Structure 1
Amino acid sequence: MTKELAISTRGLTKQFDRYIAVNDVELQVAAGEVYGLIGPNGAGKTTLIRMLAAAEEPTTGEIYINGDRFLRDQSNPKLKQRLGYLPDDFPVYEDLTVWDYLDYFARLYRLREPRRTQRMREVLELVQLTSKRKSLIATLSRGMKQRLSLARTIIHEPILLLLDEPVSGLDPIARMQFREIIKTLREAGMTILISSHVLSDLAELCTSVGIMELGYLVESASLSELYRRLSRQQIILATLGDLDALKAELKNNPLVDNCEVLVGKNQVRVQFSGTPDDSAMLLRSLVEAGIPLSEFHCTQEDLETIFLKMGHQQAS
């Protein structure tokens, strides 16, 4: 049995005058996934998310959320109840307290007492702002404001979360805190679509990624499949002895390619096309050749390298 699709689009297109912002996108996101939407600014990510959030009407095409179709020219209140949408430029009301701000949105979503207060406490706990409930929003750091915006986005317990560039402009600690909250939401069973042009933010969060360029969805796959298909294995080696001796020995192995000396370190990085057994044999042969190795570890190209490589393939 296939997993239920939280999002499914068919031929989804958005045209502004002569400019096509989103071009014939067929997007499928399974329930329970964290789906990362990657692409440079202007690729169409925001327009796509706005259409999924029913904030923008498609020019053509269809959108299904958990199997139910968005109907054109209608307000789709039932579907919107299931969605939480965090745009990249949503204002927070600086002169309200954290509690009053959340209370305002909880009422907009028609949460009634005693559930409303209970839910507000839950989301404040989740985004780690319980101690700030009486503070004016103007006094919060940028990271706290972003976590408060997330709390507002999930106050009505949506099952699908659409986050547009949620960590842009945050410092590394605030980014990490935000990522941890996303992981908690995923564990609670939410489906999350998150866009960014900062790949390192998505690599450890996402189960799948889609890559957008010039309005097209040029790639959509699970992270494990992308790594399997596009990521080459690498081995980092360091020696206490002569680097040239190590490099000469590595050249003898037909599975080793592209030996690169890492600047400022007595280390080399090589591309390796063998199996784990082959890498164990390589290690043994180096030791037997008398190379005083101080480091030998296998790694994979990261998401950023894969992404850049794909860009070159498409450009060439």
Structure 2
Amino acid sequence: MAQELAICTRGLTKQFERHIAVNNVDLEIQMGEVYGLIGPNGAGKTTLIRMLAMAEEPTTGEIYINGVRVAGYSDHFLSEDKSNSTLKRRLGYLPDDYPLYDELTVWDYLDYFARLYRLREPRRTQRLHEVLELIQLGNKRFSQISTLSRGMKQRLSLARTIIHEPILLLLDEPVSGLDPIARMQFREIIKALQEAGMTILISSHVLSDLAELCTSVGIMELGFLVESTSLQQLYQRLSRQQIFLSTLGNLEALVSEIKNHPFVEEWEVIRNKNSVRVNFTGSQADSAELLRSLVGSGIPLTDFHCTQEDLETIFLKLGHKQAS
């Protein structure tokens, strides 16, 4: 099974003195996925990513990257282990606090890392042009890094992470502190990398970004991986359907019509919008029947649309379950 996966861990645990940061995690990520890792601060996300990136040694457990087992201390983890060295060349790791060299130009910075990864000419120059085009910084290639905006610096950090064409990308809070436009630009780059066949694990507190990008998600709490599933299955299992209704008429008349409907679980009146939000357990056909019956009853509706609870709502709901 591990041979078919981009990432596979078995019983992965990391303990710092008395604190267990990552606790017996079995993680499976298919090749080509964008996997979102979410959880509160201190849940163990960064420690897990650092172990996958071979920047942190597990206390116990095993890691497989594309079916190849990552060697540990007992296997000379700190030596120039050929297996680990080969794997590292196939990884791209962007920590949340990676420093940039402000005195360098964009081109010199990327060229420096391309040389570290032993890219030879003419491929090295070709690759620099490719990543600069991808991150939309071609016009800034001769600018000093100190003159770049925060969003540009973060895109440059991503370019450094992918300069050697890794097949697996590990991103720890890459959009932290970015404004909405910079986040949108970063999302577009991630989508392009996925379309190119890269497997991507990304942790973030911006759940709306993950909901747009990810095929699967994992939720961590206190070191445990409490959920790991496709985004579609998570929505099907835990996201309630909601219907928003607005009326030109009397709100009480609208509530009177919907409150005894068999698929209306609960409702919330939003008076400043003359609207009602309903948690609805029925199918699309059932919601169409509700609409038909309201119109037939003479309710002057101005809005009737169905939606589902978003990833943030699901995460908060799961957090309450864990706490209780």
Unaligned runs of 5+ in 1: none
Matched residue, 1:22: 22
Deviation digits for residues 177-219 of structure 1, max 9, x if unmatched?
1011101100110000000122122111100000011111111
Which secondary structure state, in structure 2, belongs to the residue aligned with residue 264 of structure 1? helix
Distance 2:52 2:214 in 1: 19
Matched residue, 1:60: 60
Distance 1:119 1:263 in 2: 57
Matched residue, 1:222: 230
Matched residue, 1:302: 310
Unaligned runs of 5+ in 2: none
Matched residue, 1:163: 171
Correspondence 1:110-121 to 2 at 5 A: 110-121=118-129
RMSD, aligned CA? 1.3
Matched residue, 1:249: 257
Structure 2 residue 245 is matched with structure 1 residue 199: no
Deviation digits for residues 193-251 of structure 1, max 9, x if unmatched?
00012212211110000001111111100000000000111000111111111111111
Q: Is the 8 A contact 1:143 1:170 kept in 2?
A: yes
Matched residue, 1:139: 147
Greater displacement, 251-260 / 289-298: 251-260
Matched residue, 2:31: 31
Shift of 1:261: 1.5
TM-score, scaled relative to structure 1: 0.98
1:194 maps to amino acid: I
2:315 maps to amino acid: F
Change in 2 beyond 3 A, CA 1:263/1:308: farther
Greater displacement, 248-257 / 211-220: 248-257
Shift of 1:303: 0.6
Which secondary structure state, in structure 1, belongs to the residue aligned with residue 273 of structure 2? coil
Matched residue, 2:288: 280
Distance 2:316 2:221 in 1: 12
Q: Is the 8 A contact 2:8 2:63 kept in 1?
A: yes
Distance 1:263 1:46 in 2: 43
Q: Is the 8 A contact 2:49 2:170 kept in 1?
A: yes
Distance 1:61 1:267 in 2: 53
Q: Is the 8 A contact 1:259 1:270 kept in 2?
A: yes
2:272 maps to amino acid: G
Q: Is the 8 A contact 2:3 2:68 kept in 1?
A: no
Which secondary structure state, in structure 2, belongs to the residue aligned with residue 204 of structure 1? helix
Correspondence 1:36-185 to 2 at 5 A: 36-72=36-72, 73=77, 74=79, 75=81, 76-185=84-193
Deviation digits for residues 145-181 of structure 1, max 9, x if unmatched?
0000000000000000000000001111101110111
Q: Is the 8 A contact 2:2 2:67 kept in 1?
A: no
Shift of 1:263: 5.0
In the TM superposition, structure 1's runs of 4+ consecutive aligned residues that sit over 4 Å from their partners are none
Distance 1:279 1:3 in 2: 45
Q: Is the 8 A contact 2:49 2:172 kept in 1?
A: yes
Q: Is the 8 A contact 1:21 1:215 kept in 2?
A: yes
Matched residue, 1:7: 7
1:295 maps to amino acid: D
Distance 2:15 2:260 in 1: 56
Deviation digits for residues 255-287 of structure 1, max 9, x if unmatched?
112111225211110000101111111000000
Shift of 1:252: 2.7
Q: Is the 8 A contact 1:4 1:30 kept in 2?
A: yes
1:90 maps to amino acid: Y
Aligned residues: 316
Distance 1:29 1:288 in 2: 50
Distance 1:101 1:313 in 2: 47
Distance 2:317 2:271 in 1: 22
